[in-house]
Structure 1
Amino acid sequence: MSAKDQEIAKKVIEGVGGESNVSSVFHCATRLRFKLKDTAKADKEGLNNTPGVVTVVESGGQFQVVIGNNVPEVFKGIMDQTSLKDAESADKVEESGEKGSWLNRAVDMISSIFSPLLGALAGAGVLKGLVALFLVLGWINQESGTYLILNAASDSVFTFLPIFLAITSSRRFKTNMFVSVAIAGALVYPAIAAAQSAGTALNFFGIPIVLVTYTSTVIPVILAVWVQSYVEKFFASFVHQSVKNILVPMLTLLVVVPLTFLAFGPVGNIISEGLASGYTWLYNLSPIVAGLIAGGFWQVFVIFGVHWGFVPIMLSNLGELGYDTMLPLLAAPVLAQAGALFGIFLKAKNRDLKALSGSATLAGIFGITEPGIYGITLKYKKPFILACISGAVGAAIIGAGGGRAISFALPSVLAIPAYVGTGFATTVIGIVVAFALAALLNLFLFQEPVAEASASSAPAATSDGQPAAARVEEAVSAPAESLLKKEIIVSPLAGAIQALDTLPDPAFSSGAMGQGIVVDPTSGHLTSPAAGTVTTVFPTGHAIGITTDGGAQLLIHVGVNTVRLKGQFFDKKVKEGDRVEVGQLLLEFDLEQIKAAGYVTATPVIVTNSAEYLDVLKSTESAAKNGDYLLTTIV
């Protein structure tokens, strides 16, 4: 682990409000997933500006810090620098604060149970696909020892999946891990499996047992460990300390294992079969439509972290049907994002953008899309949309060909061997189409923003003597860091700050003219909110347009319908084409006379090209003076 990873870990700990504010933390392929006691203590903006942090997402009841490929090293740094422990913190139930909605809790539970397994599942899935490919090519045969060993290596994780899930579930539900493993072991015990295969009728003290196959299942063992958490606590509450370590595990096994075979196992199996059958029914209605939906929206699910909810369905399909049709569909949107990044890489002239898009393309090809999404495609909007469209087209092709996965593998080029069999050719074609289409669309349609030099201006004085400052914060030089550019827009007037939708003028309040904010002035001195060039001065003097040095196109419109005054009460101080600095006087107007004439003087300050920005942040203050902070444009 490098010193840089240690420094990122330190900054992240500080940014989430310190170790004392962390209820739990674990990581997936690219994100640190925190459960915080009080999210208000977290410095989200500070984390977003931290070198090495791609972005911060709040979703599914989690505070997610997106790091990228080196998230395991940063996570280890957090473990080294705090008293949090992996076995304890990964699934520690939050001790305070709201638990959130049932959906948040469900997503949180699923992600915490499956995240630690993804590496083993994906690696074994790719190996299983390669073994199948070797069989098709005739490189090995099923009677050979080579096949037997490789098949065992690739299939063991899936065959004994309940045992692996028992380990992660025990952490989630805070149970004795070894007792959980013993319960799972009973479900896949060879004699039980043999009795089920032979159709032997079994009973437990006269109560008939419905035997089902528990190998490769997901839900039965999770239900069993959840029940174990309550049974274990019950016995621990009264068993004497001197024999607790022996009697509590014994009594827990005595209760939970029979209950699982009698009730929770069959119920869980019915749920698993229902999920698999329900998805298959929907898929069979129209595989092409299923592909369009999955391909078009999968990366949206990833952004909000709710994609974990689909993992049990995929595993249920593999366990119940022996294959899954969802996994091949998802390869298209993942590779489409990589294709979009590749198109930007080919077109970009900015050195930092080219470097970042190049490295993100490589990561995307291998299934890690978050750095590219948050760092580039989502930031510029159009590349993300074009990639989603391309992913939908590619997934529709895969659906039309009936693509299937014979094992679980995270969508990437490495997963292609897992798609060997039915629909393999169309699956490969769909993946290639998704990648190529996204690359071509972005190559021709993506417009690279004009790079601005980093600049800052010293505080200037307004006509009222108030300090004013505006600056453009440029992208950092390191490719791994954010390319965000920010420009601060200060208030051109003194007065009360109001939301744009409060203005009694639908042309502005609807947002049709762009995002912005309203200042209800207390004086008639209008000063420049940023350094730039005057692009428009209405003949009547009631409105002025400025293009800032940072590229923002601002419209300052004094009052509502004041154009009807035909210039009366307005005194222009600049003309079109003039260069203006922050705080420079642009216009004077007679506030009282305008009010006396029956006009509303509330003044919208609009960023008319706000569609080109990732966001336009507004001041949360109730009032401002000339030169006080008003807006921030982020691109």
Structure 2
Amino acid sequence: MNYEKLARQIIQEVGGKENINSVIHCVTRLRFKLKDQSLAKTEVIKELPGVMTVVISGGQYQVVIGDQVPNVYAEVSKLIGKETAEDTDETVEEGGLFSKFVALMSGIFMPVMGVLAAAGILKGFLVALTVLGWISEEMGVYKILFAASDAFFYFMPILLGFSAGKTFKTNQYTTAVIGATLVYPTMLEIYNAGEALTFLQIPVVLMNYTQSVIPIILAAFITAKFEKLLLKAIPKSLQLIFVPLIILVIIVPLSFIVIGPISVYASELLAKGAMALYSLSPAVTGLILAGIWQIAVIFGLHWAFIPIFINNITTLGFDPINALLYCTVFAQTGAALAIALRTKETKMKTLSATATLSGFLGITEPAIYGVNLPLKRPFIMGCIGGGAGGAIAGFFSGKMYGGFASGGVFGIPMFINPEGANSEFYGFAVSLIVALGVAFILTYLFGYSQKMQLNQDQKKSA
């Protein structure tokens, strides 16, 4: 793939550099914020060699590239300028309230998703190795690797503070310091000791903010609004020092006295609400959610659920929702595998085989956009397989422990109970096999034919 050529073509077809407010990238997509989306030639972009498809969601114009997206992004950055590529320009989000919320969560969590998933997978492997008796918690190798895996979650307010600060267009170092204050060792010691604390005679309700999500996001949002007022009121010559100084003096106490406690209580209510829905019928919940999950992923709506997953881990110590949805990756992979074995067309066989490998590693975009969705039926069969797997995971009450796993075989150990593998985990493992098997069998028998492939090729050539 010629990355520079593809980057130039994409920039040209989205309306040129002057139509781009900003662009960032995730694991597989270039995410543009365009001044006028009507100028983008979507159908032309879809047909560019190296582009899988285009998704318009959450105020973003998303060009799906696949695992080569960092290389294409690097060339796009050179051509349009680093500041625009780093998403520093002021942009106005389009769409309704939910679309704005999804875009917001995407902006906050996308930059940390790679290390978030890596930390979760490492923690899961440590649990698996401990359960198998290959290592013990007293060994140096365990302690060092556990520190590496747990540090992200323990200091999450700092990392999300930085990310949220950038998303809310405020000084991300200031919001990172606010996050660091929430997990400052002295404050944790006072909390653990059960000591009383006041601020100007105002009682402070101390809580443990390690691994928390909502408090720092709200604090960063308020900081962004407050900073705008300060920049208008304080002369430019004094802004460098006095703006962050006043923010720290005001926002940090406010975070401990008001924002933090309210956020923690809200987090607990959110977790209880999610569990209440889940407890009505875990199997039915799994059938429905897993059946439609990959549709939500297509439109980028899955970002709205990530805070719920992490919040459940923080408040409950486990998350059952992601356990229901995890099998959907294997379902779409099973459908792509069936195409790889069924098709006689060389290009499709190569594409579906590559997509299958990516799917087992947790990246489903090549399978969805390159194989299943263009052929339509395989994607539907994948959704059916996902629903079947989700129902089984719900029936056995599968749970994700101690971190976050984004998909693929390497995240499976995240679902082992730290006390040892039990029926929950075995049922979860069965859900993956069922999702893969159902999608594979349905696609192999009913989801693909050479006639479908011929029709697809004719549409592309038309």
Contact 2:375–2:456 (CA under 8 A) maintained in structure 1: no
Partner residue, 1:485: 460
Partner residue, 1:5: 3
- CA distance in 1: counterparts of 2:453 and 2:362, whole angstroms: 32
Partner residue, 1:209: 204
Partner residue, 1:465: none
| Structure 2 counterparts to residues 28-107 of structure 1, below 5 A | 28-85=26-83, 89-90=86-87, 92-94=89-91, 99-107=94-102
Deviation at 1:56, TM superposition (A): 0.7
**Counterpart check, 1:420 vs 2:416:** yes
Deviation at 1:336, TM superposition (A): 0.4
Pick aligned residue for 1:227 from 218, 222, 229: 222
Partner residue, 1:591: none
Change in CA separation of 1:247 and 1:452 when aligned onto 2, cut-off 3 Å: closer
Change in CA separation of 1:240 and 1:199 when aligned onto 2, cut-off 3 Å: same
Deviation at 1:199, TM superposition (A): 2.0
Partner residue, 1:178: 173
- CA distance in 2: counterparts of 1:234 and 1:54, whole angstroms: 44
Amino acid at match of 1:327: N
Change in CA separation of 1:22 and 1:84 when aligned onto 2, cut-off 3 Å: farther
Contact 1:350–1:451 (CA under 8 A) maintained in structure 2: no
**Equivalent residue of 2:21, what SS?**
strand
Q: Which moved more, 1:410-419 or 1:261-270?
A: 261-270
- CA distance in 1: counterparts of 2:12 and 2:265, whole angstroms: 46
Partner residue, 1:494: none
| Structure 2 counterparts to residues 327-342 of structure 1, below 5 A | 327-342=322-337
Deviation at 1:242, TM superposition (A): 2.9
Change in CA separation of 1:450 and 1:259 when aligned onto 2, cut-off 3 Å: same
Question: How many residues of Structure 1 are paired with residues of Structure 2 in the alignment?
Answer: 456
Q: Which runs of 5+ in 1 are unaligned?
A: 454-471, 476-483, 488-635
Amino acid at match of 1:160: F
Contact 2:29–2:69 (CA under 8 A) maintained in structure 1: yes
**Equivalent residue of 2:2, what SS?**
helix
Deviation at 1:339, TM superposition (A): 0.3
Amino acid at match of 1:376: V
Q: Which structure has greater helix proportion?
A: 2
Deviation at 1:337, TM superposition (A): 0.3
Q: Which moved more, 1:60-69 or 1:266-275?
A: 266-275
**Equivalent residue of 1:90, what SS?**
coil
Contact 2:282–2:394 (CA under 8 A) maintained in structure 1: yes
**Equivalent residue of 2:404, what SS?**
coil
Partner residue, 2:14: 16
**Counterpart check, 1:367 vs 2:342:** no
Contact 1:330–1:411 (CA under 8 A) maintained in structure 2: no
| Structure 2 counterparts to residues 371-386 of structure 1, below 5 A | 371-386=366-381
CA root-mean-square deviation? 1.8
Deviation at 1:359, TM superposition (A): 0.6
Pick aligned residue for 2:338 from 340, 343, 366: 343
- CA distance in 1: counterparts of 2:409 and 2:97, whole angstroms: 35
Change in CA separation of 1:282 and 1:451 when aligned onto 2, cut-off 3 Å: closer
What's the CA shift string for 1:230-285, capped at 9, x where partnerless? 22222222323333211111111001101111111112222222221111111111
Amino acid at match of 2:280: L
**Counterpart check, 1:135 vs 2:125:** no
Deviation at 1:474, TM superposition (A): 4.6
Deviation at 1:452, TM superposition (A): 8.5
What's the CA shift string for 1:348-398, capped at 9, x where partnerless? 111111111111111111111122112221122211111111111111111
What's the CA shift string for 1:526-552, capped at 9, x where partnerless? xxxxxxxxxxxxxxxxxxxxxxxxxxx
Change in CA separation of 1:309 and 1:452 when aligned onto 2, cut-off 3 Å: closer
Pick aligned residue for 1:411 from 381, 389, 407: 407
- CA distance in 2: counterparts of 1:308 and 1:91, whole angstroms: 21
What TM-score comes out, normalization by structure 1 length?
0.69
Amino acid at match of 2:357: L
Deviation at 1:127, TM superposition (A): 0.2
Percent identity over the alignment is: 42
- CA distance in 2: counterparts of 1:57 and 1:91, whole angstroms: 22
- CA distance in 2: counterparts of 1:276 and 1:474, whole angstroms: 47
Amino acid at match of 2:144: I
**Equivalent residue of 2:326, what SS?**
helix
Q: Which moved more, 1:378-387 or 1:3-12?
A: 3-12
- CA distance in 2: counterparts of 1:74 and 1:305, whole angstroms: 20
**Equivalent residue of 2:22, what SS?**
strand
Pick aligned residue for 1:268 from 260, 263, 278: 263
Contact 1:332–1:391 (CA under 8 A) maintained in structure 2: yes
Amino acid at match of 2:444: L
Amino acid at match of 1:448: S
| Structure 2 counterparts to residues 222-621 of structure 1, below 5 A | 222-406=217-401, 407-421=403-417, 422=422, 423-450=424-451, 474=457, 485-487=460-462
**Equivalent residue of 1:411, what SS?**
coil
- CA distance in 1: counterparts of 2:25 and 2:266, whole angstroms: 28
Q: Which moved more, 1:17-26 or 1:130-139?
A: 17-26
- CA distance in 2: counterparts of 1:323 and 1:474, whole angstroms: 46
**Equivalent residue of 1:212, what SS?**
coil
Change in CA separation of 1:91 and 1:314 when aligned onto 2, cut-off 3 Å: farther
- CA distance in 2: counterparts of 1:62 and 1:47, whole angstroms: 15
**Counterpart check, 1:147 vs 2:122:** no
Amino acid at match of 1:439: F
Deviation at 1:124, TM superposition (A): 0.5
- CA distance in 2: counterparts of 1:320 and 1:130, whole angstroms: 22
Deviation at 1:302, TM superposition (A): 0.6
Q: Which structure has greater strand proportion?
A: 1
- CA distance in 1: counterparts of 2:246 and 2:117, whole angstroms: 36
Amino acid at match of 1:358: A
Partner residue, 2:188: 193
- CA distance in 2: counterparts of 1:247 and 1:70, whole angstroms: 44
What TM-score comes out, normalization by structure 2 length?
0.95
Amino acid at match of 2:393: I
Greater CA radius of gyration, 1 or 2?
Answer: 1
